[in-house]
């Protein structure tokens, strides 16, 4: 014998009013955070660095493009910047690069030792630098000036000394 559907008792789940309030608050916060991420990505132009390639931290300084880091001109106004973030001595190699205004620069950055960061002030270029992984972002520089970059991931006692400069000439 089966119970006719009309006689199935209504399920009743008791939720405490406080618990219901917090469930609703958590859902509202998730929606607000998702909207904040969407607004940030589309209107503020936030870029997520892609893991561009894998490299061997042991041979990075002797083979491949990072053996001779620096700026390469691909075409007029189009550059690649290979930068090493080095923890033994706490410096970037190179510490300074110069491009003319209107240039588009693709940054390729990695580390032979520990985790670092790369934040170019006043721009949306902001990456974590992980040994074995090449981080990459592209940006166009129309405004002449000096843009300082800093390591913004704590990497040891010389962390605060890790910085460099991108010079955009008129």
Query: Rounded distance, CA 48 to CA 124, Å?
Result: 9
- The window from 8-16, 51-59, 71-79, 152-160 that contacts ligand CUA (CB under 6 A) reads 152-160
Burial 135-164 (b: 16+ CB within 10 A, else e): bbbebebeeeeebebbbbbebeeebeebeb
Within 73-132, the residues that bind ligand CUA by CB under 6 A are 85, 116
Measured from the CB atom, is 137 or 162 closer to ligand CUA?
Answer: 162
Query: Residue 66: which of 129, 97, 109 has the closest Cα?
Result: 109
Give the residue, chosen from 130, 151, 166, 168, that forms a contact with ligand CUA under the rule CB under 6 A.
151
Query: Rounded distance, CA 84 to CA 100, Å?
Result: 22
Give the residue, chosen from 20, 95, 154, 169, that forms a contact with ligand CUA under the rule CB under 6 A.
154
- The window from 8-16, 34-42, 98-106, 146-154 that contacts ligand CUA (CB under 6 A) reads 146-154
Residue 166 · residue 144 · CB < 8 Å: no
Query: Rounded distance, CA 8 to CA 24, Å?
Result: 29
- State in angstroms the smallest separation of the CB of 136 from ligand CUA: 18
Give the residue, chosen from 162, 164, 166, 168, that forms a contact with ligand CUA under the rule CB under 6 A.
162
Measured from the CB atom, is 94 or 102 closer to ligand CUA?
Answer: 94
Half-sphere exposure of 147 (CA within 13 A, CB side): 24
- State in angstroms the smallest separation of the CB of 157 from ligand CUA: 10
Q: Which residues bind ligand CUA (CB under 6 A)?
A: 85, 116, 151, 153-155, 159, 162
């Amino acid at each position: 014998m089966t119970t006719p559907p009309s006689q199935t008792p209504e399920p009743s789940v008791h939720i405490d009013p406080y618990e219901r309030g917090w469930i609703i608050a958590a859902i509202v916060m998730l929606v607000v955070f998702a909207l904040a991420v969407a607004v940030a990505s589309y209107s503020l132009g936030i870029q997520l660095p892609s893991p561009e390639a894998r490299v061997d931290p042991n041979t990075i300084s002797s083979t491949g493009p990072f053996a001779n880091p620096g700026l390469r001109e691909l075409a007029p106004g189009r550059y690649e910047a290979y930068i090493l973030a080095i923890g033994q001595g706490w410096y970037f190699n190179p510490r300074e690069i110069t491009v003319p205004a209107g240039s588009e620069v693709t940054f390729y950055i990695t580390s032979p030792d520990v985790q670092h960061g790369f934040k170019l002030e006043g721009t949306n270029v902001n990456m974590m630098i992980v040994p074995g992984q090449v981080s990459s972002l592209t940006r166009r520089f129309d405004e002449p000036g000096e843009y300082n970059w800093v390591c913004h991931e704590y990497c040891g006692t010389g962390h605060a000394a890790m910085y460099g400069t991108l010079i955009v000439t008129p």
